[in-house]
Amino acid sequence: MIRTIQAEDVIQRYIAEFSMADFLNDDLLAQLQLFRFPAFSNVYTEQDEQHYLYFLVRGQVQCSHYHLNGKLAVFAVSSPFTAIGDLEILTDERVHSNVIATEDTTMLGIARHAVHRYGAHDPRFLHFLIDQLRAKLYKTNSLQMNQILPVISRLAVYMLAQPANADNAIDLPSKEELASMLGATPRHLNRVLKELVESGSISAGYPRVHILDRATLQAFSH
């Protein structure tokens, strides 16, 4: 589970490391909280209500969304230092993307109401948000053009993000649905599943799959 940790010394260390006082006023700095997300946990799910603006200080997250045809499009892989949720934070819109921590991840966060109260009219803070959005636009275009995440990586991330039972088993959708979400053909999906089985990371069989070696599966996710 995601935990909020009261650790003022750690927060202050990250503030100094990333020069956050350059774009956060004193009121916003005082609102920072520390969050830790285990690997392959959801930070946000598409259409969630947004409660925090996050700042990624350790780890990595993957951002994706589903097209109308059901295909999953990965449009960003973010590392420190990056704002998460900056697109929606000053609007009433729900979250536009799925954000998954692809490894153990640490973030600082400011509650939405505090952002509105202390940051909505602060030129330095607003300039920071514009810079973040501009950088993400360039990065998104590059990611979509280069398709840096192969199907096997997208499948590994998807599997690791699914809730597992006591036997470490997950239930997957039909192969046609899963292939569509991953932007692959069913034939390509079968080849990727076979590769994961042969690696020893998952069991054979479908749609119930047992994760046999989580570390190996995580290695495929990058």
The two tokens of residue 202 are 């998952």
The pLDDT of residue 4: 52
Cis geometry, peptide bond prior to residue 207 (ω within 30 degrees of 0): yes
The pLDDT of residue 29: 97
In tens digits, what is the pLDDT along the chain, a chain of 222 residues? 344 555 889 999 999 999 999 999 999 999 999 999 998 898 988 888 889 999 999 998 888 776 655 555 666 678 899 999 888 888 888 887 889 898 899 999 999 999 999 999 999 999 999 999 888 776 655 445 435 578 898 889 888 888 888 889 998 888 887 886 677 889 999 999 999 999 999 999 999 999 999 999 999 987
The two tokens of residue 222 are 């990058």
Q: How far apart are CA 28 and CA 186, in angstroms?
A: 48
Q: How far apart are CA 119 and CA 116, in angstroms?
A: 6
Checking DSSP bridges between strand 169-171 and strand 82-84, what pairing results, if any? unpaired
pTM value is 0.67
CA neighbor of 95 nearest in space, from 45, 134, 136: 45
The pLDDT of residue 145: 41
Domains in the chain, CATH or no CATH each: 3-146 (2.60.120.10), 151-220 (1.10.10.10)
